[in-house]
Structure 1
Amino acid sequence: MVWDVLNVIGTIAFAISGAIIAMEVKYDIIGTYALGMITAFGGGAVRNLLIGIPIENLWQQTPLFIIALITITIVFLLPAETVHRMKKWNLFDAIGLSAFAVQGGMHAYSNDLPILAIMFSAAITGAGGGIIRDVLAQQKPIVFQKEVYLFWAMLAGFIIGMGWAEKPYQLYILFGVILVLRVMSYRLGWCLPIRTVTKLQEN
């Protein structure tokens, strides 16, 4: 039940996030649907490939595909002012990250994978779709910048891998905690350490 609920939440949230980004960069309707779908399902597809799950499992999610298509259609038809308001706080991106991070961690944990694999599964499921979205939108992926993003997905995977969140209510609490932390880190400007190297001028 937790798996299904998080799957629906993450799919809707990332479909909205992808569609909004597509509209911001002025993609046409096909581009909007493509970016919304890739954002919603890209992370799970990459996870399946990297931990050895048959990729055809991705296509056995017809209800989720329908939900994503309906969600993208609604976003595309909304007034521009409403779409701008929806982007405030990056809330839908945070919801998608949190839901899929917990779901990805659950998936790896149920397959008795080691804790590093569980953390990786949580990270790539939570952030993979967003990475692909940003690349296709010709933007720098926020995952690889100083903003705290991927860390929260890895934290979810660590907690699940340690066996500290197994019961449904614990997993829902974990989802809520990761969501709050991601929104707080965005709003308060929390950053991870960053180091840049200045290119030397040649004589």
Structure 2
Amino acid sequence: MRHSGDRDTEAEEYQLEVDIFGVFSIIGTVAFAVSGAVVAMEEEYDILGVFVLGLVTAFGGGVVRNLLIGMPVTMLWSQGHLFKIAIIAMTIAFLLPARWILTWRKSEAFFDAIGLAAFAIQGALYATQMQHPISAVLVAAMLTGIGGGIIRDVLAGRKPLVLKDEIYAVWAMLAGLAIGKGWFHTTVDLLFLFVIIITLRMLSVHYKWKLPRRSLTKKIIQKEGSAS
């Protein structure tokens, strides 16, 4: 027979998990909304374009994730508080003096790492709560972490940086693996994982760690040159 004290403890732990889940959602939303807004301003979009690109960056990955792991896409409309937070963050970014935005750009990788870590953990938690296999947890973490950035770059007419820049998606998948395997599950664990992912992302930026790649461009140019 379970005592009321045990039930109270479990309730407190559940509340802590819900709270940390909400914190990660807010952190990721602000970081990615501002990122999208700044990219829109760099491309000289009007204020509507700033809001559209910011919202797509902040929520696009979550929409794709929901489609793949079987969560209702309409859950997006229940996140009214996150929409408000995103709108406020983008409005502030739009109104800031240009020199402040340029200063922020110097720290963009750090804030982007915060969004990546927060959303990757959020996506992994969603998938584990639905008792999906580890493969689905990895995909959910990756898509939530990088999906919005990919959509943002495509809409801005850029090559998605997450697929050609320093190691990026791997860190989101690592967060998914850690949560899917149950290595990190308490609130303190998740905060520690959050710091780990940010640190790894920043190390990959500093040391320019890259995944193996193969380019055919030079060979195609050489072949066309020799043919002519």
The TM-score with structure 1 as length reference comes to 0.97
Match of 2:92 in 1: 74
- Tell me the amino acid that sits aligned with residue 191 of structure 1: K
**2:211 aligns to what SS in structure 1?**
coil
Once the two structures are superposed, residues 87-123 of structure 1 have per-residue CA deviations (whole angstroms, 9 ceiling, x without a partner) of: 2142221111110001101110111111111000000
Whether the aligned pair in 2 keeps the contact of 1:16 and 1:92 (CA below 8 Å) is no
Distance 1:143 1:131 in 2: 7
| 2:149 is equivalent to residue 144 of structure 1 | no
Percent identity, aligned pairs only, is: 51
Match of 2:5 in 1: none
Alignment RMSD (CA, Å): 1.0
- Of residues 183, 187, 210 in structure 2, which corresponds to 1:191? 210
Gaps of 5+ in 1: none
| 2:113 is equivalent to residue 94 of structure 1 | yes
- Of residues 102, 125, 132 in structure 2, which corresponds to 1:113? 132
Task: Flag the structure with more relative contact order, 1 or 2, with Cα contacts below 8 A and sequence separation at least 6.
Answer: 1
Distance 1:157 1:142 in 2: 21
Aligned residues: 203
- Tell me the amino acid that sits aligned with residue 131 of structure 1: I
Match of 1:13 in 2: 31
| 2:178 is equivalent to residue 155 of structure 1 | no
| 2:66 is equivalent to residue 48 of structure 1 | yes
Whether the aligned pair in 2 keeps the contact of 1:146 and 1:194 (CA below 8 Å) is no
Deviation at 1:143? 1.7
Distance 2:75 2:176 in 1: 22
Match of 1:39 in 2: 57
Once the two structures are superposed, residues 108-164 of structure 1 have per-residue CA deviations (whole angstroms, 9 ceiling, x without a partner) of: 011111111100000000000000001111111012115200000000001111110
Whether the aligned pair in 2 keeps the contact of 1:146 and 1:193 (CA below 8 Å) is no
Specify whether residues 146 and 13 from structure 1 end up closer, same or farther in structure 2 by C-alpha distance, changes over 3 A only: closer
Match of 2:10 in 1: none
Deviation at 1:82? 0.6
Deviation at 1:171? 0.5
Deviation at 1:187? 2.0
Gaps of 5+ in 2: 1-18
Distance 1:63 1:76 in 2: 20
Distance 2:174 2:41 in 1: 31
Distance 2:156 2:115 in 1: 18
Match of 2:183 in 1: 164
- Of residues 106, 114, 126 in structure 1, which corresponds to 2:145? 126
Match of 2:76 in 1: 58
Distance 1:179 1:85 in 2: 20
- Tell me the amino acid that sits aligned with residue 74 of structure 1: I
Whether the aligned pair in 2 keeps the contact of 1:105 and 1:161 (CA below 8 Å) is yes
The TM-score with structure 2 as length reference comes to 0.87
